[in-house]
Structure 1
Amino acid sequence: MKVVIQRCKQAQVKVQEEVVGAIGAGLMLLVGITHEDTEKDATYLADKIAGLRIFEDDDEKMNLSVQDISGSILSVSQFTLYGDCRKGKRPNFMAAARPETAEVLYDRFNELLRAKGLEVQTGQFGADMDVELTNWGPVTIILDSPQA
Structure 2
Amino acid sequence: MRVVVQRCREAQVNVAGEMVGAIGPGLMLLVGVTHEDTEQDAAYLAEKIAGLRIFEDEAGKMNLAVTEIVGEILSVSQFTLYGDCRKGRRPNFMAAARPETAEPLYERFNELLRAKGLTVETGVFGAEMDVELTNWGPVTLIVDSPGGES
Deviation at 1:86, TM superposition (A): 0.7
1:67-124 CA-to-partner distances (Å, cap 9, x unmatched) read: 0000000000000000001110000000000011100000000000000000000000
* Amino acid of the structure 2 residue aligned with 1:54: I
Q: Which runs of 5+ in 2 are unaligned?
A: none
Distance (Å, rounded) in 2 between the aligned partners of 1:77 and 1:136: 21
* Amino acid of the structure 2 residue aligned with 1:38: T
Between the two proteins, the alignment pairs up a number of residues equal to 148
**Residue 3 (structure 1) aligned with residue 3 (structure 2):** yes
**Structure 1 segment 42-53 matched on structure 2, within 5 A:** 42-53=42-53
**Structure 1 segment 2-81 matched on structure 2, within 5 A:** 2-81=2-81
Q: Which runs of 4+ in 1 moved over 4 A?
A: none
SS in 2 for 1:108: helix
SS in 1 for 2:124: coil
1:38-58 CA-to-partner distances (Å, cap 9, x unmatched) read: 000000000000000000000
Distance (Å, rounded) in 2 between the aligned partners of 1:63 and 1:84: 34
* Amino acid of the structure 1 residue aligned with 2:108: R
TM-score (norm 2): 0.98
- Give the aligned partner of residue 103 of structure 2: 103
TM-score (norm 1): 0.99
**Residue 123 (structure 1) aligned with residue 132 (structure 2):** no
* Amino acid of the structure 2 residue aligned with 1:108: R
SS in 2 for 1:111: helix
* Amino acid of the structure 1 residue aligned with 2:43: T
Distance (Å, rounded) in 1 between the aligned partners of 2:12 and 2:53: 22
* Amino acid of the structure 2 residue aligned with 1:46: A
RMSD of aligned Cα (Å): 0.3
Deviation at 1:8, TM superposition (A): 0.1
* Amino acid of the structure 1 residue aligned with 2:4: V
Q: Which runs of 5+ in 1 are unaligned?
A: none
Deviation at 1:22, TM superposition (A): 0.2
